[in-house]
Amino acid sequence: MEQKLKVLIVDDDEVDRMAVRRSLLKAGVEIELSEVSDGNSAIAAFPENSYDCVLLDYLLPDQDGLTLTRKIRSLGIKVPIVVLTAQGDEQIAVELMKAGATDYLSKSRLSPEILARVLRNAIRVYRAEMEVEKAHQQLQESNNLLTRKNKELERQQQQIELQNIKLVEGSRLKSQFLGTMSHELRTPMNAIIGFSQLLLRHKCGALSHQQKDLMERILNNSKKLLMLLNEILDFSKLEVGQLDVKPGIFDLSKVVNATVVEIRSLAEQKNLSLQVQMNLENPIVFNDSTRVKQILMNLLSNALKFTESGGIAIEVKELSENKVAIAVCDTGIGIAPTNIKSIFEAFWQVEQDTNRKYSGTGLGLPIVNALVQMMGGKITVKSQLNEGSIFLIELPRQVVPVSQNRERVLNGTDIYKKKVLESVGSSQFPSGRRMPRDEE
């Protein structure tokens, strides 16, 4: 062995101790020997020394090797113990090994080679056991650390869950508050709009030019404020799942034209052209006319807001027998490619400060997106900075409410055709063939 080993010989026979010393020296083992003659002296030597191995005679004057081995192990001393005995009783060997002895060697077989081999094996086994114990201890410490961390994570998770509950409740209360306030504010705002319109009709006497101008400003600003309140109310309903779709049969072209009429005066004030192109063979659809108008009004209001010159165009066309499209095109400021994904996020606006040029709540497009999805459609955007934007809405000709059952969904097309035929006559519904499709 490369390093010098500290070995304790416990034997009351000087001749036997000398024989062990000679055998170890002859085997070339580098050792530092300590010798005691009884068991009590051996136990007393352990606290002050760290031995690599103990060579223990089985028959000692104060106790036998089995008793001494048990005492050594009971004290927590894990040093390798090789018992040397003149007896060859296998039962004693078994008992010694059970008590904690590392090996058992008969003195009659004592030779330098055998003693050196037994000594090396005992130390090797001991060191391996110590490595295993050290690894086990490290593993136990790691497990304890993981257990503590898991408990801490569980505690943090509970805190996060409680915080989430508070946030959800806070969001619900916020949405409820916004909905209540928006609803309450709409009543006086509608009154202001109504009285303004009444005064402008000259039924209460002619107004001077200045008075008419002021009244029109009141009316226009009231309509803008009402639109903002409606957006907040719809968004609060959307958050709590109360925004719904109520489908019915209507003429899509009439809804589009009526919406354009309402907003045309605003376009004229900014000297913007406003064109409508209808490419519908059959304008009858089964959808929510109020929500379709709301979608179109939001898109047109945005187009007017962000367009300073040029104009706005609305195109309505058929994509297939069961799908229609509404495109709103403008020549406005456009949208940067990096911002297109963000425009449908609630309250998001390009200008976030209070001194921004373009006012608004940032809720119009999120509401449009939600309504389109509720109708089973989709919205896409094409835009370039300083060149304008195109918002394309694709909607099913027949929307199926979420509350309807599976049978109604499966047979919806037949029900829809029957209602349309009864309402407008078979000549307006070209059943049995596909609608022409316009290529983009």
Tokens representing residue 100 in the block: 């904690």
Q: Pick the more confident residue, 89 or 64.
A: 64
Strand partners, 393: 326, 379
Spatial separation of the C-alpha atoms in residues 261 and 274, rounded to whole Å: 10
Q: What is the mean pLDDT of residues 43-51?
A: 87
- pLDDT score, position 359: 57
Question: What are 340-362's pLDDT values in tens digits?
Answer: 888 888 766 655 544 455 555 66
Q: Which residues contact 300 (CB under 8 A, 6 or more apart)?
A: 259, 260, 263, 312, 314, 328
Q: Pick the more confident residue, 234 or 124.
A: 124
Question: What are 178-232's pLDDT values in tens digits?
Answer: 667 766 777 788 888 887 887 887 666 677 888 888 888 888 888 878 777 777 7
Question: Which residue, among 53, 42, 56, 69, has the nearest Cα to 116 in the 3D structure?
Answer: 53
Output the average pLDDT for the chain.
Answer: 80
Lowest mean pLDDT among 334-338, 387-391, 409-413: 409-413
Residue carrying the six token digits 């929500």 = 291
**Reported pTM:** 0.48
pLDDT tier at 21 (50, 70, 90 boundaries)? confident
The answer to whether 265 and 219 have CB atoms below 8 angstroms apart is no
Spatial separation of the C-alpha atoms in residues 285 and 416, rounded to whole Å: 9
Spatial separation of the C-alpha atoms in residues 59 and 83, rounded to whole Å: 10
Spatial separation of the C-alpha atoms in residues 261 and 257, rounded to whole Å: 6
Task: State percent of the chain over pLDDT 70.
Answer: 82
CATH topology of domain 244-428: Heat Shock Protein 90 (3.30.565)
- pLDDT score, position 433: 32
CATH topology of domain 5-110: Rossmann fold (3.40.50)
Q: Return the number of other C-beta atoms located less than 10 Å from residue 285's C-beta.
A: 26
- pLDDT score, position 425: 41
Spatial separation of the C-alpha atoms in residues 435 and 424, rounded to whole Å: 18
